[in-house]
A and B are shown apart, each in its own frame.
Chain A
């Protein structure tokens, strides 16, 4: 068995993984002990990576207008359309929309082609949706996009503020590092600032459940507090910053009572936070989408950074404003300049930078103005201004706000190219040309994680079918456009060296992003490149970033930004009105094109659901499990209702992962209006005004099937993958369900084994072919009367010794149901855990000893604790 170290393609933690493989396939993936990000740890998503390397769902061949074509033809077509659109409508009519899933090398080549040779800066990326406010915040304050912290700071700080992040679910390994550090250091305090009480609060000494979007008040108020209490580090401020006075003036009226008023927090809690912040030397503020995805996200970032500048809380171990990114290579994209308002290698559209890059690239048609940011780009497409759009490795039809408009734009755009490893995405449906991209495990390159650590992704196997690396595809197009000499790369190593050389080109300390030391890597050195932090200038070791108090602004001083906080604006309210909050689920990733392939990742939370708290549900007259409709932005989604008492009144939470491929009317981004931050262009994905309505259901159905199917005309449907097939849950408002489903499955009731109890509307159908179960469909007017998910979800693995007529019972008379899966790593169910607690397990440790739950990635530990508590208080009562 061979092993290969590579990097996980999911969140921004960027864990090293060791893939163990055999001839013909990947066996399993474990954490890489030697990687600084995770030191062997891995979350359940990473652990399941081997299960995503399947043929299912992959785009295998270039497809032109729905027909398979050759690479030659496809590449000619791209080049020809790019050229003709550029000639006829100008360079501004072409655009690339990239992704934080791309490798740095792919990103670099795409960016170079567009900005250096097409004369357009219309290159933007889905990272716009994720951390562009953080970038803008850093740039305003530091003069460059610099994340001045690393994961070690999270461990060694004495006070950690986690703001707008459910790290326990979204960055599990970093969270586990924090948990471990807190266990070691009892004085370490963790404050979670989040409108939701999430799993991350499990380790919080203080949870500030503030009003959605009011974070800037809290941090602006903190600056005010620091001023008033004279807790400013004046020496530092005087020596290394500018704009302090204006920043203080801007917050002059934000005393604690005003902050309390705006945030809805008790003054006592605010006071506690402020006093801890003031009293703790080593403080890190870790922030993520809850801060960034806002109409005032950049200001929020600066409100945070201001406080760290005022207390000299950066440039030292255990300190700093730390933006953690969502994607595996958002940082790499930032480094190559993959955002429309960046040029390359942390250079912008200043005349000098343009000149530098132009010379370096020997560019023939240099972009001289920033291009269109993501939301603008699609608006331009809708207006007919973008006529050629190349989307790589992302699914904007699901992930951008106002997806109805985005889809209209894709419809309208003359020529849409989609390079992706997945065949069935909502975006692919709009493509004129589909290009099969190599996926994780098939490509070579680098990624940069949230702590500026560059790691190699390595190929474990050949690309499937005709899939090709993105850099190769772009290079081929560039060659066809006449730039073969400028894109004469033969390997990712060539590209990486050029990228590293550009970072060092005429740099001499002007730009912090300098990886000149890597510009001369041999092929062998590139192949074995260990995780490397930047800066890595050619002339030696760089110390801690910003340690010297020198910044990258014109003056060399850090800039305090005067922040005048603002609340998100509700558009119209009614008694059914709620504010929508969105986010990730623990075991899912983006639009589930990969995680959606892995059965065990679908067991923690399965069918598309949105959550409100119990009191809110009562007020709205809805119950857990009801089908509800959320309306807003002239669109709707339909979901099951979950009760989550961690949510505040007035808020509904929806996961972001669902698309038309998995659920009917579940694209939550459709409800988000295109409200963006004026500085960063980042959409306000954490807040929208919506109304919630209960929908009446007359019939429920659940189906195990070998094949997937969509039910566009059904009130509600949602599908998850299980071993050997799929489970689809569905509900209808009136009328029958069976005929439609059976017809989707190419069957009729007559050809099934069927059970009917018409008076109860209890209908069950089993179909087998050649001794293999094809599907099992159960319909009932009561959802509770449908078979248990665990039983139905196991049918794909059963050898069919079980006769059809017995399967119609919808249960296994001999098995005990283990319940909803809580620990995905070891597949331990809720019922098993409750039983173990009843038998005397009284700690997470005990449960781990008995059931192994919580002993791998640890992300279920908060839930395990809750279950123990709930059961114990039940027993006590």
Chain B
């Protein structure tokens, strides 16, 4: 008898896991239970949906073979509880399903600051396809949208809202945007580019109060007591892993569901995957590590050997059309800076070297050779021999080395 796998959550992590499993011959019976009406869509593209650049179908991550084959999708359904002892889950539809192995892939939620009245209409988030569709239905003309959070998600949301027609501004607590991925100059250039698209910014600001009129949001009061008009407020102030169900079920959790390098939770036959997980001190919000986790987990479910999941500095890329941002490595280390600036073209590239090794790459406006830099950071290869051409990419470095060898 083949094994029954239940995956709780139908987000991107689940999609990657299904893709990874589909690359192998197996007889697993798989059930995916998700609380959204749609399953396994590309959440990263929500701002594109918001902007009207993409439609729901474009986000579909699984082809029909995977979706319609051996996998049973139960959508619009929440798992209410997990009984680890008898290997069952109960749904909000009153169903109880048994499993041989369980995967918790419950994702994460927007971290909202603790503010009064944040329940009112006009306070939104952009986390689901439905969020996106709801936002699209709000009359944007002449309306003011404020995104709180100048990180990856906030900027993508702001771009979407801006394109939708909102007069959009971003509040950010830090002195520059994407401060975790970019240094000041890179952040400033990014801001410049987004300003050109029509988005405005308030840096080193946060919301201290929502101002309502007739129970409707009309303005925000900022930490400097300034009031700014606001019809729509979107929080993008980071994410929190969804750990409640796991915790309630008796899995060990901290900020997220604790896993080891093979995605095992504290309980046998129970795994966790994606944004809900925590390995060591690290939680995960980017696609790359989640994909890597999915690969590891797939092997586990198939009882195959293979390397475990390793922590590394995953690069960040911003998905706003026309605004290329790439960041990899450890930005804030002391080191030797190589910088390229083309102010006219909006290009800023900063490579940080330490002891002859590339430790960080920030690429704004020109992401070419990003994956090569990522490899170099990862492999900690000595780049001294081609340092003078490192900025200009792999082809140039190789041509230079060839020429040097010929001479």
* Least Cβ–Cβ distance between B405 and chain A, in angstroms: 12
Chain A residues touching B, majority SS: mixed
A-B contact sample (20 more), CB < 8 A, given A759-B337, A811-B400, A817-B403: A753-B342, A753-B344, A754-B341, A755-B340, A755-B391, A756-B337, A757-B337, A757-B338, A758-B336, A759-B336, A804-B342, A804-B344, A805-B342, A805-B349, A806-B392, A809-B396, A813-B392, A813-B398, A814-B399, A816-B403
Size class of the B contact interface (CB-based, 8 Å): 20 to 34
Check B133 for interface membership: any CB of A closer than 8 A.
Answer: no
Residues of B with Cβ closer than 8 Å to A?
336-345, 347, 349, 366, 387-389, 391-392, 395-396, 398-400, 403
Nearest opposing residue in chain B for A759, CB measure:
B336
Q: Give A806 to B391 CA distance when docked, in angstroms.
A: 9
Q: Give A758 to B353 CA distance when docked, in angstroms.
A: 12
Q: Which B residues are in CB contact (< 8 Å) with A249?
A: none
Q: Which B residues are in CB contact (< 8 Å) with A813?
A: 392, 395-396, 398-400
* Least Cβ–Cβ distance between A747 and chain B, in angstroms: 13
Q: Which A residues are in CB contact (< 8 Å) with B347?
A: 753, 805
* B366 engages A760 (CB within 8 Å): no
Q: Give A104 to B21 CA distance when docked, in angstroms.
A: 96
Check A267 for interface membership: any CB of B closer than 8 A.
Answer: no
* B366 engages A755 (CB within 8 Å): no
CB contact under 8 A between A753 and B341, given known A809-B396, A811-B400: yes
* Least Cβ–Cβ distance between B388 and chain A, in angstroms: 6
How many A-B pairs fall under 8 Å by CB? Answer: 68
CB contact under 8 A between A756 and B339, given known A762-B388, A806-B392, A808-B391: yes
* A757 engages B387 (CB within 8 Å): yes
Mark A752-792 against chain B: 1 for CB-CB distance below 8 A, else 0. 01111111101000000000000000000000010000000
Q: Which B residues are in CB contact (< 8 Å) with A817?
A: 403
Q: Please give me the 8 A-B residue pairs with the lowest Cβ-Cβ distance, nearest first.
A: A809-B392, A813-B399, A759-B336, A753-B342, A813-B396, A757-B338, A755-B340, A809-B396
Which A residues, 800 to 825, have Cβ-Cβ distances below 8 Å to chain B?
Answer: 803-806, 808-809, 811, 813-814, 816-817
Q: Give A754 to B339 CA distance when docked, in angstroms.
A: 8
Q: Give A759 to B366 CA distance when docked, in angstroms.
A: 24
- Central interface residue in A754, A759, A803, A809, by most chain B CB within 10 Å: A809
Check A875 for interface membership: any CB of B closer than 8 A.
Answer: no
* Least Cβ–Cβ distance between A180 and chain B, in angstroms: 37
| 12 A/B residue pairs, CB under 8 Å, sorted by A | A753-B340, A753-B341, A753-B342, A753-B344, A753-B347, A754-B339, A757-B336, A804-B342, A805-B342, A805-B345, A808-B392, A813-B398
Neighbour of A755 across the interface among B336, B339, B345, B403, CB < 8 A: B339
Q: Give A759 to B384 CA distance when docked, in angstroms.
A: 12
Check A490 for interface membership: any CB of B closer than 8 A.
Answer: no
Q: Give A785 to B388 CA distance when docked, in angstroms.
A: 8
Neighbour of A756 across the interface among B338, B389, B403, CB < 8 A: B338
* Least Cβ–Cβ distance between A761 and chain B, in angstroms: 11
Check A750 for interface membership: any CB of B closer than 8 A.
Answer: yes
* B345 engages A758 (CB within 8 Å): no
Q: Which B residues are in CB contact (< 8 Å) with A816?
A: 403
Nearest opposing residue in chain B for A750, CB measure:
B343
Q: Which A residues are in CB contact (< 8 Å) with B342?
A: 753, 804-805
Q: Give A342 to B357 CA distance when docked, in angstroms.
A: 76
Q: Give A867 to B349 CA distance when docked, in angstroms.
A: 44
* B366 engages A805 (CB within 8 Å): yes
Q: Which B residues are in CB contact (< 8 Å) with A757?
A: 336-339, 387-388
Q: Give A762 to B336 CA distance when docked, in angstroms.
A: 12
Q: Give A662 to B75 CA distance when docked, in angstroms.
A: 79
Q: Which A residues are in CB contact (< 8 Å) with B343?
A: 750-751, 753
Nearest opposing residue in chain B for A814, CB measure:
B399
Neighbour of B387 across the interface among A753, A760, A803, CB < 8 A: A760
Q: Give A628 to B366 CA distance when docked, in angstroms.
A: 43
Q: Which A residues are in CB contact (< 8 Å) with B395?
A: 813
Q: Give A316 to B343 CA distance when docked, in angstroms.
A: 76
Q: Give A849 to B398 CA distance when docked, in angstroms.
A: 33
Q: Which B residues are in CB contact (< 8 Å) with A806?
A: 392
Q: Give A750 to B400 CA distance when docked, in angstroms.
A: 28
Nearest opposing residue in chain B for A755, CB measure:
B340
Nearest opposing residue in chain B for A754, CB measure:
B341
Which A residues, 231 to 256, have Cβ-Cβ distances below 8 Å to chain B?
Answer: none
Nearest opposing residue in chain A for B399, CB measure:
A813
Neighbour of B389 across the interface among A753, A804, A811, A814, CB < 8 A: A811
* Least Cβ–Cβ distance between A751 and chain B, in angstroms: 8
* B388 engages A803 (CB within 8 Å): no
Q: Give A596 to B337 CA distance when docked, in angstroms.
A: 40
Q: Give A753 to B387 CA distance when docked, in angstroms.
A: 19
* Least Cβ–Cβ distance between A620 and chain B, in angstroms: 27
Q: Give A816 to B402 CA distance when docked, in angstroms.
A: 10
* Least Cβ–Cβ distance between B301 and chain A, in angstroms: 46
Q: Give A62 to B81 CA distance when docked, in angstroms.
A: 100
* B345 engages A811 (CB within 8 Å): no
Q: Give A805 to B336 CA distance when docked, in angstroms.
A: 20
Q: Give A750 to B341 CA distance when docked, in angstroms.
A: 9
Q: Give A758 to B338 CA distance when docked, in angstroms.
A: 7
Q: Which B residues are in CB contact (< 8 Å) with A760?
A: 336, 387-388
* Least Cβ–Cβ distance between B349 and chain A, in angstroms: 8
- Central interface residue in B345, B388, B396, by most chain A CB within 10 Å: B388
* Least Cβ–Cβ distance between B367 and chain A, in angstroms: 12
* Least Cβ–Cβ distance between A759 and chain B, in angstroms: 4
Q: Give A785 to B385 CA distance when docked, in angstroms.
A: 12
* B403 engages A754 (CB within 8 Å): no
* Least Cβ–Cβ distance between A160 and chain B, in angstroms: 41
Q: Which A residues are in CB contact (< 8 Å) with B398?
A: 813
Nearest opposing residue in chain B for A758, CB measure:
B337
Q: Which B residues are in CB contact (< 8 Å) with A755?
A: 338-341, 391
Q: Give A165 to B153 CA distance when docked, in angstroms.
A: 78
Q: Which A residues are in CB contact (< 8 Å) with B344?
A: 753, 804
* A754 engages B340 (CB within 8 Å): yes
Q: Which A residues are in CB contact (< 8 Å) with B341?
A: 753-755
Q: Give A295 to B20 CA distance when docked, in angstroms.
A: 92
* Least Cβ–Cβ distance between A806 and chain B, in angstroms: 7
Q: Give A813 to B396 CA distance when docked, in angstroms.
A: 5
Nearest opposing residue in chain A for B341, CB measure:
A754
Q: Give A808 to B366 CA distance when docked, in angstroms.
A: 14
* Least Cβ–Cβ distance between A781 and chain B, in angstroms: 12
* Least Cβ–Cβ distance between A867 and chain B, in angstroms: 15
CB contact under 8 A between A753 and B345, given known A758-B337, A760-B387, A811-B400: yes
Q: Which A residues are in CB contact (< 8 Å) with B391?
A: 755, 808-809
Q: Give A816 to B400 CA distance when docked, in angstroms.
A: 10
Q: Give A809 to B336 CA distance when docked, in angstroms.
A: 18
Q: Which A residues are in CB contact (< 8 Å) with B399?
A: 811, 813-814
